[in-house]
Structure 1
Amino acid sequence: MNRFKAAYLAIAVSIFLVFFKISIGLFTNSISIISDGMHSFMDVIASTITLAAMKLAKKPVDQCHNYGHGKYEDLAAVIQSVLILIISITIIYQAASRILNQNLITETLPGMGVMLVSITLHSVTVLIMLKYAKKENSIALRANALHLLADVITSVGVIVGLVIIHFTGIRIIDPIVAIIVALIIIKTGYDIGKESIQQLLDKSLSQGEKRIIEEILEQHTPPILEYHHLRTRRVGESRQVDLHLVFPNDYSLMEAHDVSSNIEKDIHQRLTNARTTIHLEPEIHDHPYKLYRL
């Protein structure tokens, strides 16, 4: 299996759960189950967007997109966060209406059953998606997996509410649980949106990843005298690394090139899908970046 098959699996599971949850929710008049079904419907849309984004992101470099199309995955994650916000507001509105109108749940046992099925299927799907998101550095698939993880958490909340209602008869717990579910979903959407927007704005790699690059550069010192203007970012599944290396004046271009090639190889071995651009400089030089070295 790869990340594309994992995305297809998420879509299939979500479509099944949409019909299952909403049917049981309507039968039992449970707004918490219906809201969870609406969340699963958004999962279908989100997973479809994720799949489309991953396919677009795999398009090769062209004359208009010299760094590839990896940003499609980040854009898909932003769209998912907006969808999550919309569905959360809808759930809160519907739950508040149920409280005001006293249109409350009538049955609990069928709802418990559908929630157990949902928790099981989504848990397995999330584990598969996170595995391939990490393996293939896909922020869109990871965002989709976290979206489904929110489904697992909310389903647990719904089933706990149904159990309490079953033994206490306090039916107003149902819409209250739905509101709590919506608030959890909003938090998930915020986290997804924040990370993906940072990626769209070319946020640098993590401190741990940058430390790996610095360790590799230190291993090649000497002959490297210094390095500067180190810049990093993530574009889809690839990591972009740019830097300047300073060599002794008597060091030949061929020797400097060999060292930089070895550095590129070492970075690629420790950071998968790394694309490195290195600018070679002599010890005594003047360059346009001296006023704002990084």
Structure 2
Amino acid sequence: MSVKKRAILISLLVSVLLMLAKFAAYFITGSNAILTDAAESIVNVIAGSFAFYSIYLSTQPRDENHPYGHGKVEFFSAFVEGILILIAGVVIIFKSSYNLIYPHALGQLLQGTVIIGVTGIVNMIVGLYLIKVGNDEHSITLKADGRHLLTDTYTSIAIVVGLVLIQLTNIIWLDSLLSILVGFYIVYSGYKLTRGSVGGLMDESDFTLVEEVVEVLQKNRHRPWIDVHNLRTQQYGPEFHIDCHVTLPYYFDLNKVHKEISQIDELINKSGVRKAELFIHADPCLPACCHYCHMSDCPVRSEPFKAEIVWTPEIVIKNKKHFENELL
């Protein structure tokens, strides 16, 4: 079993156990705040089940119908999880608002507080584990599930504090008020998760990856690499794709062009940057490129060299060659 599958399976099993524990705490206390936490655990279980399937699907090899692999299903999984969190938060707010107006008695709060506290600690441990594995494996599903569990941890902490206050003050309506506040936090967390997944589904560029690639190219640039532009990134689950245009001397033959492009591909994939599939388009140089071209032995130079244009993310993502005004 792969590392990703093992991690999400652990998360799913733990979520089922914690959900049962939280509902047990609710039945012995009648606390709306605890019910809030228990309801979110149902979302954890449903989302974990879908996440397990999405990770299974994302690890399948490419086929004729999916030439880029199946990795994008992870963004869809994160989107579904975010929507479920949003729905849970809205339901919690409405129910707690009703109970704020019509409060009911609570019981055995000490036992319920202990159970919620323990489940919060377990969620924190599993959440941090999922985020670590997600970062190592570049899995948005694991990172989303991990952040969701950390959200659950924060709500558990808030609920424990609130239950302690209720026991100290005997103010019953604090239970529903706390549940409403936690509900709004859950809605916000669901929104952030949904927003991130939509960005992935819409092929939103990973600017961190762009920065990493540009830094490697700038530090190791070769003289024939006159400029790099129109650089774009896409993520398909654990797989990354990078498109860019590279300006080379126009008099290079096809073998020489292929050699330079292959060196760029090798440099990116052996430099510590995340493994990626590169699609590089070679552009011929123009006379306007002479001002920043390092080819001192160029047989066709028409203008003297002035200064190097330092490659930055802001420059290389533009869909145009560099020109003299970028030296300013």
**Residues 229, 319 of structure 2: 8 Å contact kept:** no
**Residues 246, 280 of structure 2: 8 Å contact kept:** yes
SS at match of 1:228: strand
Q: Distance in 1 between matches of 2:107 and 2:214?
A: 62
Residue 275 of structure 2 corresponds to 273
Q: Distance in 1 between matches of 2:133 and 2:177?
A: 36
Residue 210 of structure 1 corresponds to 210
Residue 47 of structure 1 corresponds to 48
How much does 1:195 deviate? 0.8
How much does 1:214 deviate? 2.1
- C-alpha root-mean-square deviation of aligned residues, in Å? 1.9
**Residues 126, 145 of structure 1: 8 Å contact kept:** yes
How much does 1:113 deviate? 0.9
SS at match of 1:174: helix
Residue 151 of structure 2 aligns with an amino acid whose one-letter code is A
Deviations 1:231-256 (A, max 9, x none): 21222112210112222133232222
Q: Distance in 2 between matches of 1:57 and 1:100?
A: 47
Q: Distance in 2 between matches of 1:92 and 1:197?
A: 25
Q: Distance in 1 between matches of 2:42 and 2:193?
A: 18
Q: Distance in 2 between matches of 1:51 and 1:89?
A: 26
How much does 1:281 deviate? 3.1
SS at match of 1:75: helix
Which runs of no fewer than 5 residues in structure 2 stay unpaired? 288-317, 322-328
Percent identity (aligned): 29
How much does 1:133 deviate? 0.4
Q: Distance in 1 between matches of 2:165 and 2:216?
A: 57
Where do 1:96-245 residues align within 5 Å?
96-206=97-207, 208-218=208-218, 219-245=220-246
**Residues 230, 245 of structure 2: 8 Å contact kept:** yes
Q: Does 1:18 align with 2:22?
A: no
Q: Distance in 2 between matches of 1:122 and 1:29?
A: 22
Q: 1:262 to 1:199 in 2, by over 3 A?
A: same
Residue 217 of structure 2 aligns with an amino acid whose one-letter code is L
Residue 210 of structure 1 aligns with an amino acid whose one-letter code is V
Q: Does 255-264 or 172-181 show the bigger shift?
A: 255-264
How much does 1:58 deviate? 1.4
**Residues 209, 233 of structure 2: 8 Å contact kept:** no
Residue 59 of structure 1 corresponds to 60
- Normalised by the length of structure 2, the TM-score is 0.83
Higher-Rg member (1/2): 2
SS at match of 1:251: coil
Residue 245 of structure 1 aligns with an amino acid whose one-letter code is V
Q: Distance in 2 between matches of 1:212 and 1:223?
A: 21
**Residues 210, 232 of structure 2: 8 Å contact kept:** no
Q: Distance in 1 between matches of 2:102 and 2:245?
A: 67
Q: Does 24-33 or 253-262 show the bigger shift?
A: 253-262
Residue 165 of structure 2 aligns with an amino acid whose one-letter code is I
Which runs of no fewer than 5 residues in structure 1 stay unpaired? 286-290
